[in-house]
Amino acid sequence: MDQINVLFTEEEIRKRVKEIANSLYERYHDEEVVFVCTLKGAVFFACDLLKEYKGDARFEFLRVSSYEGESSTGRISLKLPLKAENIYNQHVVIVEDIVDTGYTLDYIRKYISDMHPKSIVECTLLDKKSRRVVSIEPTYSGFVVDDLFVIGYGLDYNQKYRNLPYIGVVVKE
């Protein structure tokens, strides 16, 4: 296995996820919320977030793709759609792993808006703010990261490293 520098430990991630879940609960209280997890990267984050969330929650999954290797192509394609009846008139939380250029989140936001939810917020574990091309600011963000290609806790590099329980950077020789 390659050498990996840890950026966020399991403990740091767990603490931050709990804080976000509590902030979301303060927002919705007893109103039902639909968490839309973007596959595959956000799956660990979304599962942990839902386990910490104290209110009524439903879980939906969406898959889009834009990445090849280490760069976003900006051309988003929908691989697994949502059912409009699961979104219509619901409070929606989009759960993303990382916002980089912003193309993906912008696409997902517009796609969900067209299904007429009651409200939408975006929740990302990681935010690479300095790389933004599209002007979009996630409502909730776990950690801001520098312009580094990060892996682990669901995030992959060519489908590898998703199963690491922490977030890190591969040290290149």
* Stretch touching ligand IMP by CB under 6 A, among 26-34, 44-52, 66-74, 109-117: 66-74
Residue ranges in 113-172 that form contacts with ligand IMP under rule CB under 6 A: 149-150, 155
Out of 33, 36, 93, 102, name the contact with ligand IMP by CB under 6 A. 102
Out of 25, 61, 67, 143, name the contact with ligand IMP by CB under 6 A. 67
Out of 94, 98, 125, 164, name the contact with ligand IMP by CB under 6 A. 98
Q: Which of 100, 114, 146, 147 is catalytic?
A: 100
- 62 touches 36 (CB < 8 A): yes
What minimum distance in Å lies between the beta carbon of 171 and ligand IMP?
Answer: 15
Nearer Cβ to ligand IMP (12/25): 12
Angle between helices 43-52 and 10-28 (to 10 degrees): 60
Rounded to a whole number of angstroms, the CA Rg of the chain reads 16
Distances (CA, A) of 96 to 30, 50, 107, 170: 23, 13, 12, 21
Please state, in angstroms and rounded to a whole number, the distance separating the CA atoms of residues 67 and 128: 15
Residue ranges in 19-58 that form contacts with ligand IMP under rule CB under 6 A: 41
- 21 touches 54 (CB < 8 A): yes
Looking at this protein, which amino acid is placed at residue 173?
E
100 included as an active-site residue: yes
Q: Does the footprint of ligand IMP cover residue 100 (CB under 6 A)? A: yes
Nearer Cβ to ligand IMP (28/41): 41
DSSP 85: G
What minimum distance in Å lies between the beta carbon of 170 and ligand IMP?
Answer: 10
Kindly state the number of chain residues that form the binding site for ligand IMP, as judged by CB under 6 A: 17
**Centroid of chain to Cα 91:** 17
Q: Which helix (H) or strand (E) element contains residue 38? A: strand 33-39
Return the sign of the alpha-carbon dihedral for residues 53, 165, 137, 104. negative
Which residue ranges make up the site for ligand IMP (CB under 6 A)?
A: 41, 66-67, 72, 96-105, 149-150, 155
Residues annotated as catalytic are 100
